[in-house]
Chain A
C-alpha cells in the first residue's frame, strides 16, 4: 500500500527541470497558404513528462494547428519542436512511434468492426503481424483485445461495425487504441466535444485511470474548463499567441480575486460601518469586497449590522479564461 501511495504522489507531481521535457516547442510559426495572418505566431512552451497539459483558447486560436504540427501531419513554417528527444523536422518517423492521437473528429473506420479497427492499428504500428482473421492473430493480441472489450463492456459488439457504437463508446475505443503502442505522449484534441455529460464524466474517470497506471503524458485541448482544473499546466492561446500560462491555481490567482459578497436590510448602516472599518467595497445589487481567507472571519466578527447575505466567491478557471480572452479581444480592437 505504501508504495502505491508514493507512486501516485510522484505521478501527480512530475519532477521538474532535472528531466528533459517530453515536448519542447520554440518559436513555432505556421502560416497557411493564402492566409493573411499567422495561424500560430511564435509559440513556445514545454511539457514535463507524465503531466497533464492543457491547451485552451477560443475557436480559431490555433490549437488544432499546434496539435497537427506536433503530430507530424502538418509542416510548420518556422520554429523548433522536440518530442520524446526527437527533432520534428528530421526524425518525424521516430516521433510517430512515440505519440498516440485522438482527433477532434473520430478517425475510426466506420465500416469495420471494433476489433478490425484495433487490428489495423496494431499492424500499422508493427506490434503484431497482420492476419486476415481475429482467431489467426497471435495469442498475446487476442488476450489484449479481450481485456479491452471487457473494460469497455463491449464483449458482445466487439465484432460489430463501429458505426453502430455510441459517440462516447467510439471515443473510449479511440483512446485505448491510441494507447496500444504505449506512446510517451497522448494527444487529445477536444475529446469530449459533442458528448453528453454522463459520457464526459465516465471518459474522464477513465482517463484518470490511464494516467494512474502509466507515465503517459497527456496533451489536451478542450472547451470545457472544469476539465482543466486538475491539469498540471495550462496554456491559453488567443489569435495564434500564448496569452497566459501556468498552473490552474496560478492563473486563477493572478487574474481574478476571491470576493466576499454581503448584503443587509439596512444598507445605509452597513455602508457606514464598512467605511468606518476602512474596507474597500463596491456597491451594486450587493456589496462586493476584495476580502478572502481568514480576513473574512475577522471582518464578519467586527460587523454589527444584521446581514441578509454572506457569500464567498472563489474564482474558477473559467472566469480567469474569460478574463484573458476578453482582454485579448479588447487589445486587438485597439490595434
Chain B
C-alpha cells in the first residue's frame, strides 16, 4: 500500500491541475492578447523594409549548402578559369587577366545573387508564405525594396569574399579612394540585378521554370559583358550584341572605379564612368517600376 500512496497523490495532483488548467490558459491568453503598451517603431514602412530584409539574410545564413557553394564558386572560377587564361594569353593582353577577371566575377556575383534572391519570391509563393506578406498592412513597394535590400546584403557579403580573395592573393589593383567608391557602385550593381529579377518574376510561375530559364539569360550576359575575357577587337555582330547586354555597363562601371588612376585603365575600361552610370541607373529604374507594377497586378488580379 505504501508504494501506491505516492501514485494516488500524483493522480490527485493531475486532477487538480486540469481543474486549474482552464483558468491558467485564460490568463495566458489574456497576457498574449492584451500586452503591456510597448515601444512602437518610429516609422512603420522602414520597419517593414528592415524586417523583410532581415528575413532574407536569415534564410541564407541557415542554408549551409548555399554558404559552402558561395565560398567555393569564386575560388574555382579565379583559379580554374583565369589561371590557365593568364598563363596562355596574359602576355598578349598586356595586363593581368586574373585581376581583370576578379573585377568581372565581383560584378557577376553581386548581379546574379541579387537576381536569384528576388526570384526566391517564387519559392515563397509555392510555400504560401507570400500570403502572410501580402496581407500585412505594408505597401507593395516596401515589400519589394525590403526583398532587394536583403538579397543585396547577402550578395555584398559574397562580393566582399571575392574582393578579399583578390586583394590578398592576386595583387588586386584597387586604391583607397577606389575602395570607398566601390561600395555604392557594388550596391547599384546589386539593385540592377534585383530589378531584372523582379521583371522576370512575372514571367515565371514556378521556381523550376525559373531555374531552367535563368542560365539561358545569364550565360550569354557573362560572355558578352566581358566578365572573363576583354571585349575588344570584336567582329561587328559580337560588338553589337555586347553593347546591348545590360551587365556590360555594370561590370564596366565597376572597373572604372577599381582601375581609376591605374596604368591599365585605358586598356581595361570600355566606356567612361558617366555613360555607364546613366545606362545602369536608367535600366534599373525601368525594370523596378515595370516589375513592381506587374508583380502587384499578378497577385491581385487573377
Residues in A lying within 8 Å of B, measured CB to CB? 32-33, 71-75, 93, 96-97, 99, 101, 103, 105-112, 116, 120-121, 123-130, 132, 138-141, 143-144, 147-148, 150-151, 161, 176, 179-180, 182, 209-210, 212-214
Q: How far is the CA of A75 from the CA of B298 in the complex (A)?
A: 11
Is A151 within 8 A of B135, CB to CB?
A: no
Residues in chain B near residue A123, CB distance under 8 A: 41, 47-48, 50-51
B42 CB → nearest A CB, Å? 7
B127 within 8 A of A: yes
Listed A/B pairs (23) with beta-carbon separation below 8 Å = A32-B302, A33-B302, A73-B135, A96-B135, A96-B136, A109-B129, A111-B62, A123-B47, A123-B51, A124-B51, A124-B52, A126-B47, A130-B51, A143-B35, A143-B36, A144-B32, A144-B35, A148-B32, A151-B25, A151-B29, A151-B32, A182-B33, A209-B29
Residues in chain A near residue B55, CB distance under 8 A: 109, 112, 116, 120
Residues in chain B near residue A111, CB distance under 8 A: 59, 62-63
Is A139 within 8 A of B128, CB to CB?
A: no
A180 CB → nearest B CB, Å? 7
Q: How far is the CA of A139 from the CA of B36 in the complex (A)?
A: 9
Q: How far is the CA of A75 from the CA of B131 in the complex (A)?
A: 15
Residues in chain A near residue B42, CB distance under 8 A: 129
Residues in B lying within 8 Å of A, measured CB to CB? 25-26, 28-33, 35-42, 44, 47-48, 50-52, 54-55, 58-59, 62-63, 127-129, 131-139, 299-302
B295 CB → nearest A CB, Å? 13
Is B58 within 8 A of A125, CB to CB?
A: no
Is B41 within 8 A of A126, CB to CB?
A: yes
Is B129 within 8 A of A129, CB to CB?
A: no
Neighbour of A126 across the interface among B40, B58, B302, CB < 8 A: B40
Is B135 within 8 A of A99, CB to CB?
A: yes
Neighbour of B39 across the interface among A72, A140, A180, CB < 8 A: A140
Is B28 within 8 A of A151, CB to CB?
A: yes
Is A112 within 8 A of B58, CB to CB?
A: yes
Residues in chain A near residue B36, CB distance under 8 A: 139-140, 143
Is B137 within 8 A of A96, CB to CB?
A: yes
Residues in chain B near residue A126, CB distance under 8 A: 40-41, 44, 47-48, 137
A72 CB → nearest B CB, Å? 7
Q: How far is the CA of A214 from the CA of B299 in the complex (A)?
A: 33
Q: How far is the CA of A179 from the CA of B34 in the complex (A)?
A: 10
Q: How far is the CA of A180 from the CA of B38 in the complex (A)?
A: 13
Is B302 within 8 A of A214, CB to CB?
A: no
Q: How far is the CA of A161 from the CA of B127 in the complex (A)?
A: 15
Is A128 within 8 A of B33, CB to CB?
A: no
Is A147 within 8 A of B136, CB to CB?
A: no
Neighbour of A73 across the interface among B39, B131, B137, CB < 8 A: B131
* 14 further A-B pairs in the complex, CB-CB below 8 A; given A123-B50, A125-B136, A140-B39: A93-B137, A96-B136, A112-B59, A121-B136, A123-B48, A126-B40, A129-B42, A147-B32, A151-B25, A151-B29, A151-B32, A210-B29, A213-B30, A213-B33
Is B40 within 8 A of A128, CB to CB?
A: yes
Q: Could you say which of B48, B136, B299 has the most chain A C-beta atoms within 10 Å of its C-beta?
A: B136
Is A101 within 8 A of B28, CB to CB?
A: no
Is A107 within 8 A of B132, CB to CB?
A: yes
Is A97 within 8 A of B38, CB to CB?
A: no
Residues in chain B near residue A112, CB distance under 8 A: 55, 58-59
Q: How far is the CA of A105 from the CA of B132 in the complex (A)?
A: 11
Residues in chain A near residue B62, CB distance under 8 A: 111, 161
Is B39 within 8 A of A138, CB to CB?
A: yes
A330 CB → nearest B CB, Å? 31
Q: How far is the CA of A75 from the CA of B297 in the complex (A)?
A: 10
When A73-B299, A99-B135, A111-B59 are in contact, do A140 and B32 touch as well, CB less than 8 Å?
A: no
Closest 7 CB pairs of A and B: A140-B38, A147-B31, A129-B41, A96-B137, A123-B51, A124-B136, A151-B28
Q: Could you say which of B30, B32, B47 has the most chain A C-beta atoms within 10 Å of its C-beta?
A: B32
Q: Could you say which of A126, A143, A176 has the most chain B C-beta atoms within 10 Å of its C-beta?
A: A126
